[in-house]
Structure formats: C-alpha cells, structure tokens
C-alpha cells in the first residue's frame, strides 16, 4: 500500500478515505549515507531536517 501520487495522478484507490498530507519521501541507496564501509554521512539527513525546522515544518 502506498499513498504516493505520481505526476499529479490519483491516490491509490485503497487509500481514498485517507486524509490529505504534505509528507514527502525520497528513496536513496544506502551507499549515499555510507560511501565507505563504516563511514556514515548523517549530516545529509541532519541538513534536510534543519531546513524543515527553520521553515517551521517540523
């Protein structure tokens, strides 16, 4: 089940009674966060969260 709306298309019919939301998601490969085994890039997540926080969206 997904709430994803692609290119302005309709919601998945299973979710037609689900309330509207402004949530977004992004799929990335794990190596985006761990480019070298054991070395993590958590700053990428923190940067996005800080942007949302400053915009009053968190």
CA pair distance 35, 30, nearest whole angstrom: 8
CA torsion through residues 3, 6, 12, 15, sign: positive
pLDDT tens for residues 5-47?
556 666 666 666 766 666 666 678 899 889 999 999 999 889 9
Question: Residue 44: its pLDDT value, please?
Answer: 86
Any idea where the domains of the chain sit in the sequence? 24-58
Q: State if pTM tops 0.85.
A: no
């Amino acid at each position: 089940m997904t709430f994803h709306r692609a290119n302005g298309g309709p919601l998945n019919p299973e979710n037609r009674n689900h309330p509207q939301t402004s949530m977004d998601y992004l799929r990335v490969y794990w190596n985006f966060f761990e480019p070298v085994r054991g070395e993590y890039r958590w700053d990428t997540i923190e940067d996005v969260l800080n942007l949302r926080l400053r915009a009053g969206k968190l």
